Amino acid sequence: MTAQLEVRDLAVRYGQALAVRGVSFGIERGETLAVVGANGGGKSSLGKAVARLVGSTGDVLLDGTPVPRTAVAAVGAGVVYVPEGRMVFTQLSVADNLRAGAFSVRRKHDWEARRATLYERLPRLAERASVRAGLLSGGEQQLLAIGRALMAFPSVLVLDEPSLGLSPSAVVTVTDFLREIQQEYDMTVLLLEQNAAFAAKLARRALVLELGVVREVVDAATLAEPAPVPADAESAERQ
């Protein structure tokens, strides 16, 4: 089976510095692939390169067709990036933030219908449709940022640290919403996360990215397990 999203030998360079050094992977339709690793490892650079927000070398293919190298065309092709730190338009209302996400959607009927569906799913945002987004909580802003991306009818979502800085209860709300999206839209997701336990709740497979290189590909479930107790600590405990 060929992957819906295929990334081949992707590299991102900032001046002399190589942030992503030849990364390759595929994601099946409806699959969530996590990319985990410490701060500075290259997760955001990788995600932005896939969404064509930074320059890169290598190939990004969606259903076998190269994703155009400009960001607006990439959205049109179906790849949408949800930025780290949410980046909602704080001065705009919730409704207008969602509207902005649909800039690539021609027919008013289509984006209005999608917005209505999102409001059904996220009643808290529906209640606050005319409120300025800057007044929402962090968790609500994250839901809005994801909702804004869904307004473009993406086939691939790139989520950059969706759990970062959220309260434990907000993390649960965001997790539940992402699970609904996975199922309802059969969404293909590239999930960039420092929080391995959160990644394990949504993904089956994870790439561990270190200094721009894929160190290993792991079963995401192993990320949620506590670190193994060293053998000598265990025997000390028994004594």
Ligand X SMILES: Nc1ncnc2c1ncn2[C@@H]1O[C@H](COP(=O)(O)OP(=O)(O)O)[C@@H](O)[C@H]1O
Give the residues lining the site for Mg ion (CB under 5 A): 43-44, 84
Which of 99, 53, 98 minimizes the C-alpha distance to 75? 53
CA distance 18 to 109: 44
Which of 19, 18, 17, 22 minimizes the C-alpha distance to 7? 22
Q: Which is nearer to ligand X, 45 or 56 (CB)?
A: 45
Minimum distance from CB of 103 to Mg ion (Å)? 24
Q: Which is nearer to ligand X, 40 or 134 (CB)?
A: 40
Which of 191, 193, 200 minimizes the C-alpha distance to 224? 200
Judged on CB neighbours under 10 Å (0-12, 13-18, 19+), 226 is exposed
φ and ψ of 31, to 5 deg: -90, 150
Q: Which is nearer to Mg ion, 43 or 86 (CB)?
A: 43
19 binds, among ligand X, Mg ion, none (CB under 5 to 8 A by kind): ligand X
Q: By Cβ distance, which residue is nearest to Mg ion?
A: 44
Minimum distance from CB of 40 to Mg ion (Å)? 8
| The pair of three-digit structure tokens given for residue 217, joined into one six-digit string | 């590909």
Minimum distance from CB of 44 to Mg ion (Å)? 3
Q: Which is nearer to Mg ion, 10 or 77 (CB)?
A: 10
**Footprint on this chain of ligand X (rule: CB under 6 A):** 14, 17, 19, 37, 39-45
Minimum distance from CB of 84 to ligand X (Å)? 7
